[in-house]
Amino acid sequence: MADEAIQKVKVPPPLVVKIGGSLAENDRVGGTLDIISRASRRLVIVPGGGVFADTVRAAQVDYQFSDEAAHRMAILAMHQTAELLMDLQPRLMGADSVASMRAIWRKGQLPVWLPHKMCEGDNEIPADWSVTSDGLAARLAERMRSPCVVLVKSVNVDKKATAFDLARDGVVDPIFAAIATRAKLDWVVIGPGEEVILAQMLGSARAGGNGNTLPRRSKARTR
């Protein structure tokens, strides 16, 4: 997608909300999709690879194909998770470009990013396992000038942790930390029991609680 087309996204830019693939394996996915479906803020959903990406990893061990091929297959695994999410929540629609996202917003629907088209040929994305859907979500946010990346995960994290701390602990990939830092992205991890924070960030109806967890801006670490 040409940068000129990306620049045409109207202000305010959308939030980027990444739904971890692991949520599809437990009972949180329904509640999370319910919150997202009631969002009043403009957003784009980034699906994780989940069990579909795990299948790619297992197949690579068996067949010994390249990391580059595995990377492309893992991106397509995100498409499979997208299909699952769209089937569970009718307000979601697949989008493979900024233009299609804008068309979906005009309909009052919520786009789920199908990343293959926009990732193809993007030199900022390494074609190996060093990047996951977290890093791709950060890259999408960077390209769309998004104010914040929301990572909905199956783990709770230390709210004082930096992106590099989370990368070191394996919560996010190192590409996420690098992009979030260079692009000065605000970001937040939403873990189990923190759904009210997600609801407040998205402007979902019936949001409650005090919302005491705010997005952080990534900073270069000082030692």
Query: Which candidate, 149, 120, 213, places its Cα nearest to that of 18?
Result: 149
Q: What span, in angstroms and rounded, lies between the C-alpha atoms of 52 and 172?
A: 18
Sequential DSSP letters for 167-188? HHTTSS-HHHHHHHHHTT-EEE
Confidence of residue 210 (pLDDT cuts 50, 70, 90): very low
User: Do the domain assignments include residue 89?
Assistant: yes
User: Do the domain assignments include residue 63?
Assistant: yes
Number of structural domains in the chain: 1
User: Do the domain assignments include residue 200?
Assistant: yes
Query: How much helix, strand and coil, in percent to the nearest 5, is found in the chain?
Result: 45, 15, 40
15: three-class secondary structure by DSSP: strand
User: Do the domain assignments include residue 6?
Assistant: no
Q: What is the number of alpha carbons within 13 Å of residue 101 lying toward its C-beta? A: 26
Q: For 158-182, what is each residue's pLDDT tens digit? A: 999 999 999 999 999 999 999 999 9
78: three-class secondary structure by DSSP: helix
Confidence of residue 10 (pLDDT cuts 50, 70, 90): very low
Residue 25 CA to its chain's centroid (Å): 17
Averaged pLDDT of the chain: 90
pTM of the model: 0.88
Amino acid at 139: R
User: Do the domain assignments include residue 2?
Assistant: no
User: Do the domain assignments include residue 132?
Assistant: yes
What is the CATH number for 118?
3.40.1160.10
User: Do the domain assignments include residue 52?
Assistant: yes
User: Do the domain assignments include residue 222?
Assistant: no
Write out the residue range of the structural domain in which residue 156 sits: 16-217
Q: What span, in angstroms and rounded, lies between the C-alpha atoms of 48 and 78?
A: 5
CA-angle at 126, arms to 122 and 131, nearest 5°: 115
| Mean pLDDT value of segment 110-128 | 97
